[in-house]
Amino acid sequence: MRLIVQKYGGTSVGTSDRICNVARRLVETHREGCQVVAVISAMAGVTDNLLKLAHAISPQPTQRELDVVLSTGEQGAAALTAMAVNALGGRAISLTGAQAGILTDHNHTKAHIANISPKQIHELLSDDYIVIVAGFQGQTPEGEITTLGRGGSDLTAIALAGALNADACQIFTDVDGVFTCDPRIVLDAKKLKEISYDELLEMAGGGAKVMQSRAVEFAKKFGVEFEVRSSFKKTTGTIAREETPSMEDVVVRGISLDRRQAKLSIAGIRDEPGIAGRIFSNIAAAHIIVDMIVQNASIAGTTDISFTIHEDELENARKILMPVIGEIGAIRLNTASGVAKLSVVGIGMRSHSGVAARLFKCLGRNGINIQLVSTSEIKIAVIVDEKDAEHAAQLIHAEFGLGRLLPATSATQPLA
């Protein structure tokens, strides 16, 4: 009997009608002769409302108590889904992350999964239950409730699929799959049939919100193939898997856009060993994630360093760095919000040249200035003004021929 793990996001269970729709899918899958484990997110908006309530009561709630509060969103949605399955004549039971055997470290609100003991799930499946697991959570060895960070239900599903040696893992969401770009930005964006783990990681890190990056990393590490598909349509989605030789035939797989970036530039830094370490150790101590880093060539013994972070961290980073600027003898610190990161991703870049040249020429002839550039083996990322970001994405999407043909009534004006 095939074992299938299905994950449903907050929008997919956002109303009672949608919970019943999910329940019907689960019952149908079970009646097709499959064992079913479903991972359920909190109903849309519930986690944010719980956070607001917590901060209204206490300006600085402890991370432990936040985890206890936030975990209830998924638990409630899982129980409601089990009720809906039972009302349809199915046989379902809901489990918390702890009851499902998910063991984590002690890092409250951003815990990492250390181990999964799925004994109880196996027993329930053997008794012909549809097992509904609350996503986003686990427990420490001491029994403390922990949560896995934003998008943690994706990680729950991938980890359970690996631990259960599932035959299939399906991530149901409010989109049809992974697209060449956000369809809200690029009207002719095309749904991908497949994507490699590395490409999906780069797109997720570049701002695509289809999957949590940690979940994709986990899938790659343990070889868990999964499909991203729609909760609302009976259509196939996008398969994420280990790369195959044929995947390199496609030079650019997709484009992602992150409009919540901030840029910091430190000018006149002494070009000496250890200076960069002093700068970034202070940033790291504040748990601020640094994205792109660019250092200019040394001139007269000094250099400049520019880097990007999430815009919400800008003020905190500025306060941390101001004392450091004086200590290292730098001339000034410049900060800027209102910038965006555009990432062009594809494993075909390993074996095809000229991608960067086409990208830079396309933006240049359309008057879009590139502020920073960062590259990896399969990605080229640029920082541009936020006001130019969507147009830049449309231009690059067209430049690399990533779109599908639109009906005449939907045709857009030429982009360049």
Q: Does the 256-401 domain belong in CATH 3.20.10.10?
A: no
CA angle 338-397-368, nearest 5°?
A: 40
Q: CA 168 to CA 2: how far, in whole Å? A: 8
List the chain residues with pLDDT less than 70. Answer: 405-416
3-state DSSP call for residue 160?
A: helix
**Both tokens assigned to 391:** 């147009």
What per-residue confidence (pLDDT) applies to 412? 38
Cα separations in angstroms, 328 against 188, 268, 271, 295: 50, 10, 10, 16
258-274 pLDDT per residue, tens: 999 999 999 998 888 99
Task: Characterize the bridge pairing of strands 332-345 and 379-385.
Answer: antiparallel
What per-residue confidence (pLDDT) applies to 234? 86
Q: What's the CATH code, domain 3-174? A: 3.40.1160.10
Q: CA 241 to CA 5: how far, in whole Å? A: 16
Which secondary-structure segment (H or E) carries 24? helix 16-31
Q: CA 23 to CA 7: how far, in whole Å? A: 12
Domain ranges of the chain: 3-174, 256-401
What per-residue confidence (pLDDT) applies to 207? 76
What per-residue confidence (pLDDT) applies to 413? 37
The residue length of the chain stands at 416
